[in-house]
A = this chain, B = another copy of it.
Amino acid sequence: MNPVLDAIHKRRSVRDFTADTVERETLIQIIRAGTRAPSGLNNQPWRFAIVTDKDLKARIAKLTRYEKVIEGSKALIPIFIDRDAVYHELKDYQAIGACIQNMLLAAYSLGLGAVWLGEILKNSDQVRYLLGLSENFALMAVLALGHPAHRKQTSTRKSLEETIIFEK
């Protein structure tokens, strides 16, 4: 298996982190990887926030049932969509997903752990207020990052027989 397939298969959601901090330059590398995703008409609807401030992180943590995951993490990257850039919701949400997957793979390749938090979308507006962002930006997900405390996570998938629904 080549290194790319290997990363795709071995990446897991990491929710337990060590006390080691994450360099800003590493976060930038991860964001840069996100921006390399394809998007419809190359509209690049993704926008990023970087949160390493402990107090701000704790306030965001209160907005999700995964409070402990965020508190244990060393950095957050909340991902927004720029409503002005949207041209087709379905395709734009897909582009955001492609962007996030690039970021998760980049984090893994750099030795970091990360988890994609979606449940916090129930409090999208509160996250936006905390960051002082205008209504033009809609929260799409929050990535929590840090150095993995372990790599013991397991994950299951449906069989290929269940997911391939046509062949000719």
Q: Kindly name the residue among A99, A104, A133, A163 whose own CB sees the greatest number of chain B CB atoms within 10 A.
A: A163
Given A49-B166, A94-B97, A97-B97, 19 new contacts (CB under 8 A)? A3-B3, A8-B105, A13-B38, A31-B163, A32-B160, A36-B157, A38-B116, A42-B155, A47-B163, A50-B166, A50-B167, A51-B166, A52-B168, A78-B166, A89-B93, A90-B140, A94-B96, A101-B101, A131-B166
Q: Which residues of B contact A105 (CB under 8 A)?
A: 4, 8, 105
CA distance A91 to B89 in the complex (A): 12
Chain A interfacial residues counted at CB < 8 A? 72
A91-143 CB contacts (< 8 Å) to partner B: 91, 93-102, 104-106, 108-110, 116, 118, 121, 131-133, 137, 140-141
